[in-house]
Structure 1
Amino acid sequence: MRENPPAEQRKGIEMTEEKKKGFFGKLVEGLSKTRNNILGGVEQVIHNFKAIDEDFLEELEEALIVADLGVGTTIRIMEDLRVKIKERKLRDVQDVRGLLQEELVEIMRTDQDPYIFERERSVLLVIGVNGVGKTTTIGKLAHQYKSQGKKVVLAAADTFRAAAIDQLVEWANRASVEIIAQGENADPGAVVYDAVQAAKARKADILICDTAGRLHNKKNLMEELRKVNRIIEREYPDAYKEVLLVLDSTTGQNALQQAKQFKEIADITGIVLTKLDGTAKGGIAIAIQAEHEIPVKFIGVGEGLEDLQKFDPVSFVEALFEK
């Protein structure tokens, strides 16, 4: 006979479930414009046809391209849909909705555990252009990891802008975590070196480094990131290294272009998509994984500290199809 968990444990489970429900609700709400953008056209096509034929599939393809999924992603989706329709001998256009849902989850699902770094002693390099919410993302991650009982150290290695350093210092104070910072235009490599020494001395669980994202000066940025990588590999060889690229989802195809450019200069292991609430361009989450095979690991759907959450493809697609 199974025993019921003690009251305190039940309360903890209920609170976690409540939090999950709360975030799902925010996700459903935040994706409303994206839902209308992607599914509005799809629903129209389904409504206009009685049976699945070539005309229907062509109209569906057009609706997906218009919905900001991009040509490459749409072609991949349509190829897979055609195969499945044939295999399952589908005739009814209504079946395509469920098939599309299934396909989007498949595209975004990753075989590997995306959060190994959270269980290891690790270094997180966070990159991205100015204005995407990079420093805020680092602040929220620092707050969440500290709340989980982890020892966190921040490194203000985006020394190109004094405002970035000040902002990160503010976040470090809010989250009550240690920060290693120098002045504006200091050598980012030196900041990271100091931060690594501090992280080792304090036996930190996680070191999060804010790095510059000046894409217009690609050569310098590449050199800077290489230097930072060399310092981490030399000084902290046992640390698990994670490279997160922060993208602003409101920029749509532009974010896709940024992912392509950053992928050329850095070994990106994951994407953080910010500002998903209130944009019609949330389909970018699907396009990035389909075209660049970089998993989305975190998404932001609001200003609150808890509004940055781990990305779950099933919940995302469910929220997208929620009526």
Structure 2
Amino acid sequence: MSDRLAAELHEVSKRYPGGVTAVDRLSLRVREGEVLGFLGPNGAGKTTTMRMLVGLVHPSAGRIQVLGEPPGRQLARIGALIESPTFYPHLTGRDNLRLAARYAGVPDAAADRVLDEVGLTARARSPFRTYSLGMKQRLGVAAALLKEPSLLILDEPTNGLDPAGVAEMRELLRSLGRHGQTVLLSSHVLAEVEQVCDRIAVIDRGRLVAEGTPDELRGALGAGVLLIDADPTDTALTCLRADDRVRAVEVVDGTLRVSTDLALAAELNRRLVTAGVEVRELRPLRHSLEEAFLELTAPTAPVPVPEQPEAQHATTGAAR
């Protein structure tokens, strides 16, 4: 992963008529060569953000750079699947891609290459209207790959795929990441994001609420908490509560959740064993990515309020 940026949004907002704010002063960086997961509940502003990155929607405020240019200036180096893919229904999958290739200025042979990459070669001669939802998604991803883009923007690429198709798409995304492709991936399949993405950005109500590696997001919610499976539980509780370095102890599903400095784990284990407690498990608590996502985007979760800038940045895309 490079320190150079494939895309950057700085204090970007998008307001629609009627007072609807889809994106609210969002700052986000996509590094070259990384696969960045872009998560958020429905209506969080993910698709609007992606549409702004490719120049389909102009921001109301803020600054956007994509591959060193304002949005829309580098479309020859960008591949995108945003919302539902649309093709000519009477044309075959191959003919649709060949037509797209000619518009993009790439050889017809690229169509066969990407059909193979997304596993559609066997249905290449079938009309698009006969495709299932999952096959339509695959063809949309294939079209996004035609130009071998420097930046690939994918909005829910596994929508409609069966479990085998999800696994194949996941392997494709992994392959792109291994070859240094920059990918911005929006998905509700958290297992896919966890296994594929180098970093994750979570937005809620149009604002960035968390950013980091999957491990960092999982660990943040359980920071400073030990999970201890001990018997007898009552003796363990008494022992731990007597230690003034333990901030809190609670029993959840038969195991202890101990709020303390994680560096004290070995010492607390010794104290429990000395007190006659059998310690069957002792480890730092790590939430699943799903638990982290749900807590970060809960209706009662606070949304960070950005500091007021000294001066409003001009919108780079709106002047075109």
* TM-score, scaled relative to structure 1: 0.32
Larger RCO (CA under 8 A, 6+ residues apart): 1
Query: Hey, which of these two has a bigger chunk of helix by percent?
Result: 1
- Given the two structures, how large is their TM-score scaled by the length of structure 2? 0.32
| Bigger fraction of residues in strand | 2
